Amino acid sequence: MQEQPDPPKRPTRRRLTADDWADAALAALAERGLAAVAVEPLAARLGTTKGSFYWHFANRDALVAAALARWEELSTERIIQAMEAAEPDPAARLGTLLRGATATAAADPLEVRLLAAADHPEVAAALARVTERRVGYLAHLFELLGFPPPEARRRGLLAYTSYVGHAQLARAVPGSVPAGPEYLATVMTALLNR
């Protein structure tokens, strides 16, 4: 009797996590806006079924909330933690944040898409939390540079609104806002000028 070969093994699929779904939702949102966060297209994008979605989330609103929490964590908290760990000088941290944020703004439409969806209650709440956290962190850096708290807060807000304006213009009118080192040095000088 001839020995039968073992049947081919099916490749085992990695089990998707809630973060996988949240990341896919953020990618869809960045590409086509909040309306693109829909279960069936995301399942197809992830190569899975709607059942996987319902394993992790009760409904689309729960996915949107998870995606926004993921965005807050990745684009704010982790960046602040990395800055705190890597750079002791607050002026250097400001420069690094400004360079990184302006480079990201030109390449990644996610934040502009979120601003455009600010009429959605979950998005509005996330934008409010992120704005407060980012402005607060920038104000903290200005305080470390010797500015009194009210002035540090004003400068933190100025730095953040400069970034948001830069992001909006970079997406709406590509090439309208310079991103080179000379421009960013001018912005830093204006922010730090006493």
CA–CA gap between residue 119 and residue 122 (Å, rounded): 9
- pLDDT tens column, 32-47: 999 999 999 999 999 9
- pLDDT tens column, 99-151: 898 888 878 899 999 999 999 999 999 999 999 999 999 999 999 999 999 99
- In the chain, the N- to C-terminal Cα span, in Å, equals 91
Q: pLDDT class for 54, splitting at 50, 70, 90? A: very high
Q: What is the pTM of this model?
A: 0.88
pLDDT for 139 equals 98
Give Dmax over CA atoms of the chain in angstroms.
Answer: 91
